[in-house]
Amino acid sequence: MPPKQRKIAIMGYRSVGKSSLSIQYVEGQFVDSYDPTIENTFTKTVRFRGDEYEVRLVDTAGQDEYSIFPAQYSMDIHGYVLVYSITSPKSFEVVQIIHDKLVDMTGKVHVPIVLVGNKTDLHIERMISTEEGKRLADSWKAVFLETSAKQNESVSDIFHTVLTEIERANGNVQVKSGCIIS
């Protein structure tokens, strides 16, 4: 049986670690210096819940509050990873604008989204609390995770979680009192 194809867009303000998260997940390495992304696609085949998936990560160019939300990010995309840096209030603000544009573009109230607070290794410079991130994700009915691409902390959890959210949106995962049954 051919693998299920799932396309995931990774979006957020510039320099929040979108490419670092993608490369860490796909290649298992941390790239410290990376040219600002134009747009890149990474592909990885994974076994998840007994099925094989070809996961295509669309690593988008950094958005800001004035970016026009490109239509291609609302078509053929199964799920979204919205990333901010825990050290950047600006990136936290921009991720909320991206979410609003996303909901407008897709016309769906519930889109499979994982909100990611990246750069937990910079905890001394933290400016966005875990509680603020959780509160925002709850208001979107999205899943919230904090990660460190540098330390490979919870990186694969992001993509397993977004796959779960995609399958749930497709009606392939039932939820019983907080437990996920596939």
Give the pLDDT score at 76.
Answer: 84
Domain boundaries, the chain: 4-168
Sorting pLDDT into bands at 50, 70 and 90, what band is 32?
confident
Contact indicator for 174, 62 with CB cutoff of 8 Å: no
Contact indicator for 55, 33 with CB cutoff of 8 Å: no
- Domain 4-168 fold is Rossmann fold (3.40.50)
Give the pLDDT score at 180.
Answer: 46
2 DSSP 8-state letter: P
Give the pLDDT score at 157.
Answer: 96
Dihedral angle of Cα 124, 131, 18, 178, to the nearest 10 degrees: 140
pLDDT tens-digit map of 130-181: 999 999 999 999 999 999 999 999 999 999 999 999 999 888 765 443 444 4
- Does residue 77 surpass a pLDDT of 80? yes
Contact indicator for 45, 94 with CB cutoff of 8 Å: no
Pairing of strands 174-176, 179-181: antiparallel
Q: Determine what percent of the chain is predicted with pLDDT higher than 70.
A: 86
C-alpha span between 148 and 5 (Å, rounded): 26
